[in-house]
Amino acid sequence: MNSPNAVCRDALLFAFSGGRLLLLAGRDEAVPTLAEAREAGLKAHLVREVGELGGRPCVAALLGPEVEVPDGLVLRDFRMLVGTSVDREFFFLAGRARMVSDWHKNNRFCGRCGSETVESANGELAMRCPSCGASYFPRISPAAIVLVRDGERVLLARSPGFPPGMYSTLAGFVEPGESVEETVRREVYEEVGVRVGRISYFGSQTWPFPDSLMLGFTAYYESGDITLQDEEIEDAGWFAPGALPALPPRLSIARAMIEAYLGEVRSGAGQERER
């Protein structure tokens, strides 16, 4: 990633104020160019170039919490884009910009000695303390997300904060000294009281709320009856392919895992995999 010093006027500006993303009014997939933002009188602190979209450079930026947004622009809760038809590439590039912006904002001062930090001189994505030499990199929080299967049934659950009627896969953060496979077994047992046997890796996905790296697994039921962890799980159950509840958004790896399971069931591959 490059410093924003030489960013061109046509660069797309992914500017955040807290969890809100700056957008062109009335459009969920359009951010202003650097030139448009400046011409509108918007003051933004450029952080880093974070990639390209449609062949145009994109830069992450920070806005103040009380910023006055000019006409033609609007701040929208970034999380609200998850349930829309927003373009996948746009969403995850915006997520990258948010994580980089948060890293810059949260590491302006050294946590060890209190001195003001500076950006790494060699272009590395790090804030360094000139006084004690400490380095601060963007935070990434690994989490296991797991689809539990028993034959053609899958175990889905809902947390209190979910939209009405929506169920999803189980998930939890990796704890110190723990492998991701150990996290899978622990989280499934803690959240729903079920033991799982064989575990297979599905894939990974960044999730910028605020800084998760979701590591997806399929786990196969071994024993136990569903017993809910009351403070985290509101309801859970076994669901057949033709009787699934409302599912998580298509942008999420949880939805991708469920769709892959449905494809296997339709093709008959699921039973073969489980053997």
CATH of the domain at 205: 3.90.79.10
Which pTM value belongs to this model? 0.90
Using the predicted structure, report yes or no on whether residue 202 has a pLDDT greater than 70.
Answer: yes
State the DSSP string of 158-175.
E-TTSPTTB-B-EEEEPP
Q: State how far the Cα of 242 lies from the Cα of 119, in Å rounded to an integer.
A: 53
CATH number of the domain within which 90 lies: 3.90.79.20
User: Tokens 């400046």 belong to which residue?
Assistant: 38
**Contacts for 202-206 with beta carbons within 8 Å, 24 or more apart?**
202/147, 202/253, 202/256, 202/257, 202/260, 203/253, 203/256, 204/253, 205/252, 205/253, 205/256, 206/92, 206/95, 206/96, 206/99
What's the CA gap between 211 and 104, in Å, rounded? Answer: 13
Query: Which two three-digit tokens encode residue 230?
Result: 């009351």
Please tell me the total count of domains within the chain: 3
Name the residue range of residue 134's domain.
108-138
Confidence of residue 1 (pLDDT cuts 50, 70, 90): very low
* Range 152-160 average pLDDT: 97
Domain match, 98 and 180 both: no
- Domain-ending residue, one of 123, 138, 153: 138
Averaged pLDDT, 24-46: 91
pLDDT level of residue 93 (50, 70, 90 thresholds): very high
Most confident by average pLDDT, 3-12, 27-36, 58-67, 185-194: 185-194
Q: What is the pLDDT averaged over residues 208-216?
A: 97
Strand order in the sheet with 127-128: 118-119, 127-128, 135-136
Question: Does residue 272 carry a pLDDT above 70?
Answer: no
Helices (H), the chain: 34-39, 88-106, 180-192, 253-267, 269-274
